[in-house]
Amino acid sequence: MSSKYKQLDNKFCGLEFQTPLVLLSGCVGFGQEYTRVVGYSNQEIGAICLKGTTLENRLGNPAHRVYETPAGMLNAIGLQNPGANAVVNDYLPKLDFNETRYVANVSGSTIEEYSQVTRIFDDSPIDAIEINISCPNVKEGGVAFGNDPDMSARVVEACRAVTDKPLITKLSPNQTDIAYNTKRCIEAGTNGFAVINTLMGMAIDIKSRKPVIGNNQGGLSGPAIKPIALLKVHQVYQVCKHHNIPIIGQGGVCSGEDALEFIIAGASAVGIGTGLYYDPLICAGINQTICDYLDENKLSHISELVGSLTLN
């Protein structure tokens, strides 16, 4: 890989990223779907997170699965995927690992499933593994793993035991103390964090008086959640900076200015998700804006900007 943005290349969990931009899980399928967009270039991004993958194939939730809201989007896809073995055997061989980094997204309804899926991806060319701990634990009445620090740590620990690949834990904003959860996950062996996952929300059809989303509720993403995401990145960074643990900041990034806010708050990389639906070629403009900002502020590299927030 050769980056055309020398100010932006960096290492994330030991992996070479051409730029700080990461295409988020669920927004670009299993890597090939998005790359077919005319004008797209892998040189604009540091990594692609593949769609959430479980042990067995899943059909997902009933329609409607996606609904646009003011300044955002609700989605409840339900982890539709062909299963981990199919992803490794049928999808990964079609990807060019010389162009960018690819990150698997591991999901499960039990700790054992997380471990099994991680083990399958460990025996593959995937560069890193993102742990989606927002999934419900079926053995504990459906509470999400990510909302309980003990369960979060147990999932990370189980995945760490079966792989030496970098682990990136995707933190939920739907919890009481995200900083404490961060500490527990670091102790359990995570190498990085993705902050934040979607917030839970609902939309109602007033004619039928029923939820618009077939699953009744869904994850809210987009500009509406950016202020919350920025605060969570700042809170997580206060823990991570003492352990040299990097963060992918995400939640409503639709411009270069948005990305800069996340970097200043403490993110070493920036996730692009819902913004891709507004503009599939948004990444080039974001990178250029960051480069211009560095030049204007006489900074030679993006690393000088990470966590540079000064509180009032």
> Which residues are annotated as catalytic?
135
Question: Which alpha helices (H) appear in 161-224, and where do they start and end?
Answer: 178-188
Residue-by-residue DSSP string for 8-52: T-EEETTEEESSSEEEPTTTSTTSHHHHTSTT--GGG-SEEEEEE
- C-alpha closest to that of 8 among 217, 204, 205, 270: 270
What is the spatial distance between Cα 61 and Cα 79, in angstroms, rounded to a whole number? 8
Residues with Cβ within 8 Å of 68's Cβ and at least 6 positions away in sequence, in order, are 74
Strand pairing report for 218-221 and 210-211:
unpaired
